[in-house]
Amino acid sequence: MSQTESVIDIKKTLKARQLLEQFDMNLKRLKETGLHQDEDEVDTLEMLSSCLEEAIENGMDTSILQSRANALARYALERGYEQHEVEN
């Protein structure tokens, strides 16, 4: 592996970790305090889903993300979203 590839891998790993931190922080906030007054729930759920997708794109192992994906799906289902909406 060249030094350039190593730097890119480190950047991707850091980006993936930042995405997961953002995901964890926002899902915890939703569960504990709910939406902000001006926040759209669908947009927030899509943002959380995008965090997971982008973490995968940045090399994060999907097995690490499975519990987070399950937690997000569980939250959405508890909020009244249909199974087919959650799967997409």
**Mean pLDDT per segment of 10 residues, for the chain of length 88 residues?**
69 93 97 95 96 94 94 95 80
pTM: 0.85
pLDDT of amino acid 10 = 87
Exposure pattern of 27-64 as b/e (b: 16+ CB <10 Å)?
beebeeeeeeeeeeeeebbeebbebbebbeebebeeee
Whole-angstrom distance, CA of residue 71 vs CA of residue 73: 5
Whole-angstrom distance, CA of residue 79 vs CA of residue 76: 5
Domain locations along the chain? 3-87
